[in-house]
Amino acid sequence: MIVAPGSPLRLVPARADHAALWMAWRAEAAARRFNPLEDTPLVHLRRRLDGWDGRLVDTRRDEYRWLVFAGDIPVGTAALMRPAWRMGYAEIGYLISEPYQGQGLGTRAVRLFVSHVFRETALRRLQALVSVENVASQRLLERLGFALEGTLRAHFMIQGRPVDERLYAMLREAWPDAR
């Protein structure tokens, strides 16, 4: 578990029994509008979450996912995806459920998450791909100091149409809490 000092916000390693909750969040309109999500059977989501103890030492995994809790209420997820351990980079993703958006929870969760990843790994770069239409997510990353590196034209297919994605990145040496 990752806890924000002085805050009720915490990140808990996702387990297979969290899959139904994650599936419900993936089905929300905002998640579908901004992300290249495929309809995925619950059994496959369970499999993706199964067998991980929350530590970032198993470098064979392609995805590490936490649930974001505000107090005792699960409000979203944060994930480290497709890490290239030898090259020193990975992609991050995050999702805050619609009823909890606009309260600063996403910004606080991503700050806590990035600090944890930089403290616990040797990764030197974290990057995020954000739909050009997802202004709130772009602002979140910019508030945290992520640099906009460019736009990938027609990069993702979202709801059957090509969508441009903005590439943001944070380098370890630029993150204030990397040590």
Tens digit of each residue's pLDDT (9 = 90 or more) over 83-131? 999 999 999 999 999 999 999 999 999 999 999 999 999 999 999 999 9
134 part of a folded domain: yes
Of 144, 148, 137, 89, the C-alpha closest to 113 is: 144
CATH of residue 51's domain is: 3.40.630.30
108 part of a folded domain: yes
179 part of a folded domain: no
pLDDT at 178: 59
27 part of a folded domain: yes
Query: What is the domain range of residue 57?
Result: 2-174
Rounded Cα gap, residues 16 and 150, in angstroms: 36
30 backbone dihedrals φ, ψ, rounded to 5°: -65, -40
Domain count, the chain: 1
pTM of the model: 0.93
167 part of a folded domain: yes
pLDDT at 70: 95
